[in-house]
Structure 1
Amino acid sequence: MNDVLATYLSRAQFAFTIGFHYLFPQLTMGLALLMLVLKTLYLWRKDERLNISARFWARIFAITFIMGVVTGIPMEFQFGTNWSRFSMYAGDIIGQTLAMEGAFAFFIESAFLGIFLFGEQAFGQKMHWFSAFMVWLGTWASGAFIIASNAWMQHPVGYTITGNRLTISNYWAVLFNPWIIAQYSHTMSAAVVTGAFAMAGVGAYYLLIKKHEEYARIFVTVGVIVGLIATAVQIFPTGDAEGRQVTSNQPAKLAAMEGLFQTENGAGIVIIGQPDAGRGTLDNPLVVPNALSVLTYRHWTAQVRGLNTFPADQRPDSVALLYYSYHIMVGLGTIFIAIMALAVLLLWRKMLFRARWMHWILFLALPFPFIANIAGWFTTELGRQPWIVYGLLHTAQGSSPQVGDGNILFTLLGFAGIYLLLGILYVVLVVYETGRGPGHVALVDEGDEPSDTPQPQGLINKA
């Protein structure tokens, strides 16, 4: 009983630490692309507002990047403390990708971030653009190595079994695991959604309080255009590809995500409903008929296996949490498309900068992509249960047998307290930086007085 409790507490601790940590990388991965877009537009348009905007968001990026580093360190230690049997079993493979993330991607990201923040005057504009490109490349490469680790746990390849542990037999098979393509593209486009909503939300806030309005127009314009593209990509092709590979390789996860307990021909997609795993039913369902069969097997009457057809030890052990995580992710993603499509329509009609109601929507929507991303990761990880390495090692077999539940609970509470303080500090720093605004960036970096209204160069329509 104590071993079971210790395993669940270890899972809770890892879920908490990774959930909190991922608030930061999803923003930096999204902002890295947007900073590159702003810097590229500056070199094209020669509008100094775009350059100042890129430097402003680089400061938000730097604060977020530091918090991501600090909160990411404890997760690596947990492999040795809470998950020692998993580390012994699969460390030869997982250690490769995690080490490359730290040795290559993190080094590139951090080194060129320093150049972007402090080297513009010394190196010139072309090198400044190149540093923005390398920050984006390093950030997205870091995501690729992390996704490679997780994708291997979802779909293990390139290994041989030696005694009671796995050894890597094909390094390239691990790096180019077929599972990676859909998962990586879906994760990175979701990060861009977060960055786009953050940029558009801050711009909308400036428009609401009537400060930094020239920069606000840039933030909102770039945010909603990039955001619309990213939200559309979330559904097709990336979301569709993720769903189809889950259908093929993790059918029990698919059934739990959709609350499908009984096998159906022509299965529908559930919009609303409450799963009851104990009775094997979905209460009060609102279903779109045949939609699940079409999306998964491209046939109206295709058979989709129900959760009750799988042995109990092969089903996700928290069907309700998985079901709700998935539906929160999908529901919010659908809302994001509607928001960004409406905003782009207003931009095209030259009404966006006068529509204060839309500014409120963009501003209030800012935190929701963070929630959707965390819900997406919960869906990915809960759906893999009861396996820590799918089909090879059960989660209960991967925890550390000599770490007691009291020790785990103590460290969990300790992490909660420390992360609370870090979260407060992060909010204070970001609020302080956004309160000073882009004009302060011009003052500090150029030695001039801050100005909210530099000479317009024709990028932003003043409708």
Structure 2
Amino acid sequence: MDASTILSRLQFAFTISFHYLFPQLTMGLALLLLILKTLYLLKKDERYNDAVHFWGRIFAITFIVGVVTGLPMEFQFGTNWARFSAYAGDIIAQTLTMEGTYAFFLESAFVGLFLFGEERFGQKMHWVSTFMVWLGTWLSGFFIIASSAWMQHPVGYAVANGRLRLSNYWAVIFNPWILAQYMHTMSGAVITGAFAMAGTGAYYLLARRHDDYARLFVTLGVITGLIASLFQLYPSGDMEGLQVANYQPTKLAAMEGLFQTEKGAGIVIIGQPDAIHGRLDNPIVVPKVLSFLTYRRWSAEVKGLNAFPVDQRPDTIDLLYYSYHIMVGLGTFFIAFMGLAFILLLRKQQLFRTRWMLWILMLLIPFPFIANTAGWFTTELGRQPWIAFGLLPVAQGSSFTLSSGNILFTLIGFVGMYLLLGILYVVLVLYEVLLRGPTPQPKYAEEVVVEGYD
């Protein structure tokens, strides 16, 4: 693989990793906003509506930065991956166009109504706009997953003149790979939103500020976070594992650091892969569990990496292995911590007075971002060396015309611009959380009237 292809991979990995920090939060918050708005209409408690306004502002900031950082992604298909676009563009363009034309348009239109239309159109219409924001956000996620799923498991195509042509649109949309990946991705996004909400509420309780809102944030965040974390394990995680075993056995072997084919293969808790010598150093293994989880038989044979030609194995086994174990390890901790927080919540709301648990909830805020990023690394690195699995190698998908110097120059530019965007985003969110908070602010006109009267 030449230097320009390696740098194109690095640039795409950087830009998409940074970009996905924002959509995972907006997709998670979209569901939580809908829950809060629904509770407001049912309970007529203004705290719920105030919470919608507060998290709606954070949603809007995150949404805008997500749009800005997401724009370069699709352009890179034409600039850095021109041969892939020429080869498979007839298919990939369909799902990406659906995401931009319908889902993103729906989401963007109703975000404006959600942010500015409440007083003019009333509470029921505001609930409708909140629902449509959630629907548009999750539809956008679906079409992006459809694009990724096709690259993982190509379907609905025919080969003509050395290029792929779309032969069955519905086969692409109902690709069997989509369901598990979509459920796993969206539940991961809900975890991010729930942990952000619970952690923010924990901060307010520790700081003895906005106590009523803090209790609401912690309660909803913990309950939703626990449900989503369990859903990540089963059924979505289990379904993901089964389809990887069936369609991408090389990815499964690399994820588990399994170099030799084994009957009754165990699942690795910890260990260090040595790809050069084809072994796993210092492993701690639970016997036979991997065979059961993948094939539902304790003695089932699981193929190791050495059973496949070298040119068909993932080319970054170490990074893939550690990404997978970081994702699974953090997911396990999420279930444990949220389960403990839920127990404390049930015990006469002891959670609100248990400062060490509140500290844990607050400090957990960044870890779902890490887990989701590690999950995407696992998905994409495991597809290697293919850009479209089994059809087109990555080395044959990059552009001819870009030199390594061109790509390095733009990569440095992206790093600089995204750093500035990241700093601006953190400042805006901290302003909302630390200075404004969820307590309603009096309108300027009302303040003028009161001050004039005094």
Shorter-chain TM-score above 0.5: yes
Shift of 1:120: 0.8
Superposition map of 1:203-352 within 5 A: 203-350=201-348, 351-352=350-351
Question: Counterpart in 2 of 1:432?
Answer: 431
Q: Does 1:33 align with 2:23?
A: no
CA distance in 1, matches of 2:390, 2:333: 35
- Give deviations 1:402-436, integer Å, cap 9, x for gaps: 10001111111110011011000000000001113
Secondary structure of 2:442's partner? helix
Q: Does 1:170 align with 2:168?
A: yes
Question: Counterpart in 2 of 1:366?
Answer: 365
Cα gap change, 1:58/1:347 in structure 2, threshold over 3 Å: closer, same or farther?
Answer: same
CA distance in 2, matches of 1:369, 1:185: 16
Q: Does 1:403 align with 2:432?
A: no
CA distance in 2, matches of 1:175, 1:227: 29
Cα gap change, 1:203/1:447 in structure 2, threshold over 3 Å: closer, same or farther?
Answer: farther
CA distance in 1, matches of 2:443, 2:343: 36
Superposition TM-score, scaled by structure 2 size:
0.97
**Counterpart contact for 1:156–1:389, Cα < 8 Å:** yes
Q: Does 1:413 align with 2:394?
A: no
Shift of 1:441: 4.0
Shift of 1:116: 1.1
Question: Counterpart in 1 of 2:391?
Answer: 392
Superposition map of 1:60-99 within 5 A: 60-99=58-97
Aligned partner letter, 1:23: L
Q: Which runs of 5+ in 2 are unaligned?
A: 449-454
- Percent identity over the alignment is 72
CA distance in 1, matches of 2:344, 2:428: 32
Shift of 1:446: 10
CA distance in 2, matches of 1:181, 1:35: 24
Aligned Cα root-mean-square deviation (Å): 1.3
CA distance in 2, matches of 1:385, 1:399: 14
CA distance in 2, matches of 1:116, 1:407: 42
Secondary structure of 2:277's partner? coil
Shift of 1:322: 0.1
Cα gap change, 1:263/1:43 in structure 2, threshold over 3 Å: closer, same or farther?
Answer: same
CA distance in 1, matches of 2:170, 2:338: 38
Shift of 1:209: 0.6
Aligned partner letter, 2:280: L
- Give deviations 1:230-269, integer Å, cap 9, x for gaps: 0000000000000000000000000000000000010001
Shift of 1:438: 3.8
- Give deviations 1:308-360, integer Å, cap 9, x for gaps: 11000100000000000000000000000011111110000020111011110
CA distance in 2, matches of 1:171, 1:209: 54
- Give deviations 1:359-400, integer Å, cap 9, x for gaps: 100000000000000000000000000000000000000000
CA distance in 2, matches of 1:164, 1:177: 23
**Counterpart contact for 1:215–1:438, Cα < 8 Å:** no
Cα gap change, 1:105/1:90 in structure 2, threshold over 3 Å: closer, same or farther?
Answer: same
**Counterpart contact for 1:206–1:212, Cα < 8 Å:** yes
**Counterpart contact for 2:81–2:398, Cα < 8 Å:** yes
**Counterpart contact for 1:193–1:369, Cα < 8 Å:** yes
- Give deviations 1:66-102, integer Å, cap 9, x for gaps: 0000000111111111000000000111011101111
Secondary structure of 1:28's partner? helix
Question: Counterpart in 2 of 1:111?
Answer: 109
Q: Does 1:355 align with 2:354?
A: yes
Shift of 1:108: 1.0
CA distance in 2, matches of 1:44, 1:227: 22
**Counterpart contact for 1:207–1:213, Cα < 8 Å:** yes
**Counterpart contact for 1:53–1:438, Cα < 8 Å:** no
CA distance in 2, matches of 1:59, 1:293: 47
Secondary structure of 1:178's partner? coil
Cα gap change, 1:57/1:71 in structure 2, threshold over 3 Å: closer, same or farther?
Answer: same
**Counterpart contact for 2:51–2:438, Cα < 8 Å:** no
CA distance in 1, matches of 2:376, 2:444: 38
Cα gap change, 1:287/1:446 in structure 2, threshold over 3 Å: closer, same or farther?
Answer: farther
CA distance in 2, matches of 1:287, 1:272: 7
Secondary structure of 1:357's partner? helix
Cα gap change, 1:444/1:407 in structure 2, threshold over 3 Å: closer, same or farther?
Answer: farther
- Give deviations 1:196-233, integer Å, cap 9, x for gaps: 00000000011111111110000000000011100000
Q: Moved runs in structure 1, 4+ residues, more than 6 A?
A: none
Aligned partner letter, 1:58: G
Secondary structure of 1:443's partner? coil
Superposition TM-score, scaled by structure 1 size:
0.95
Cα gap change, 1:433/1:145 in structure 2, threshold over 3 Å: closer, same or farther?
Answer: same
Aligned partner letter, 1:435: L
Cα gap change, 1:370/1:446 in structure 2, threshold over 3 Å: closer, same or farther?
Answer: farther
Q: Which runs of 5+ in 1 are unaligned?
A: 450-463
CA distance in 1, matches of 2:385, 2:419: 30
Secondary structure of 2:177's partner? helix
Shift of 1:33: 0.1
